[in-house]
Amino acid sequence: MARMKGPIGGPEDPRHGTFNGYSNLLCRCDPCKATAKEVNAIAKVERFTRPKTGKEHWHGTYNGYHNYNCRCGPCTAGNTIRSRELRIRSLIRKGLPTPEEKRLDKEFAISKLKAHGTPKSVEIGCRCSKCMTYITKKFNLRRLSEGRAIHGKASTYSYGCRCIDCKLANKIYRHEQYARGGNRYPRKKVSK
């Protein structure tokens, strides 16, 4: 390939479509870009597959993770940190709230809640025990209504299933509870 000196010329210049044209002469015509892309792809494969000694200078960096495809502990950690920074920077640039801001907003909203275990508290994102109970109940009621409930469980009984398995499980559960000394309130008579 002709290695002429000086800036790249018109379409007749034989240096178009060479890596030199792209990287040294800074030409961005289609043939030069295509060649550069190919060369970079080959170099990337070479970097990816080159055996690693563990002593390379790039360990622990985003570069090591992405450009050398290294998944060692430090490179993975380096990538996590850098990715987070990049994501936060892009959020700030777009004027969107960062995860930290969102977390603080959520905490603030939760601290202002008047009641827990309600659709609102759950939607805001509270996961206290009361809210968790609400979520579980909602989930189980949905399973039951979709006919996907797990039968033979006292909890399924409590969500309204009266199949023979759930009735039995509930009976056993009540007995155990009674034996432990809990729930001594007189039970409502369930008509058979």
**Which is nearer to Zn ion, 47 or 116 (by Cβ)?**
116
Shortest separation between residue 31's beta carbon and Zn ion, angstroms: 6
- Annotate each residue in 146-175 with x if it binds Zn ion (CB under 5 A) or - if it does not, as one string: -----x---------x-x--x---------
Size of the site for Zn ion (CB under 5 A): 19
Among 45, 128, 141, 150, binds Zn ion (CB under 5 A): 128
Chain residues 57-96 in contact with Zn ion, contact rule CB under 5 A:
59, 64, 70, 72, 75
Which span sits near Zn ion by CB under 5 A: 38-46, 90-98, 115-123, 169-177?
Answer: 115-123
Residue 29 · residue 44 · CB < 8 Å: no
**Which is nearer to Zn ion, 121 or 140 (by Cβ)?**
121
Chain residues 25-44 in contact with Zn ion, contact rule CB under 5 A:
27, 29, 32
* Separation between Cα atoms, residue 41 and residue 23, nearest integer Å: 15
Among 121, 140, 169, 170, binds Zn ion (CB under 5 A): 121
CB neighbours (10 Å) of residue 190? 8
* Separation between Cα atoms, residue 89 and residue 84, nearest integer Å: 8
* Separation between Cα atoms, residue 177 and residue 184, nearest integer Å: 9
Residue 188 · residue 175 · CB < 8 Å: no
Residue 121 · residue 105 · CB < 8 Å: no
Residue 166 · residue 156 · CB < 8 Å: yes
* Separation between Cα atoms, residue 90 and residue 41, nearest integer Å: 27
Binding-site ranges for Zn ion (CB under 5 A): 16, 21, 27, 29, 32, 59, 64, 70, 72, 75, 116, 121, 126, 128, 131, 151, 161, 163, 166
